[in-house]
Amino acid sequence: MLSTEQIIDAMSEQGLRITDQRKTLARLFGEHSGYLSAKDVYEYMCKKYSGLSFDTVYRNLRVMQELGVLEQVVFEDGMKFKASCSEDHHHHHMICLQCQRTYPIQFCPIHLADAPEQFQVVTHKFEVFGYCKDCQQSTSDEEQMSTKSGGGR
Partner DNA sequence: TTTGGTGCAAAAGGTTTGCACGGCG
Partner DNA sequence: CGCCGTGCAAACCTTTTGCACCAAA
Nearest CB to a second copy, comparing residues 86 and 106: 106
- Rounded to whole angstroms, the Cα distance separating 107 from 121 reads 18
Question: Contacting a second copy (CB under 8 A), which of 50, 86, 123, 140?
Answer: 123
Total residues in contact with DNA, by rule CB under 7 A: 26
Question: Contacting DNA (CB under 7 A), which of 53, 138, 139, 146?
Answer: 53
| Residue 12 is a binding residue for DNA (CB under 7 A) | yes
In sequence order, what are the beta bridge partners of 13?
none
| Closest approach of a second copy to the CB of residue 36, in Å | 18
Task: Name the nearest CA neighbour of 107 among 94, 122, 121.
Answer: 94
| Closest approach of a second copy to the CB of residue 105, in Å | 5
- Rounded to whole angstroms, the Cα distance separating 100 from 87 reads 19
- Rounded to whole angstroms, the Cα distance separating 31 from 34 reads 9
In sequence order, what are the beta bridge partners of 102?
95
| Residue 148 is a binding residue for DNA (CB under 7 A) | no
* Residue pair 2/55 in contact by the 8 Å Cβ criterion: no
* Residue pair 66/106 in contact by the 8 Å Cβ criterion: no
| Residue 109 is a binding residue for a second copy (CB under 8 A) | yes
Question: Contacting DNA (CB under 7 A), which of 29, 30, 32, 60?
Answer: 60
| Closest approach of a second copy to the CB of residue 64, in Å | 18
- Rounded to whole angstroms, the Cα distance separating 103 from 34 reads 10
Q: Which residues bind a second copy (CB under 8 A)?
A: 74-76, 92, 94, 96-97, 103, 105-107, 109-110, 112-116, 118-133, 136
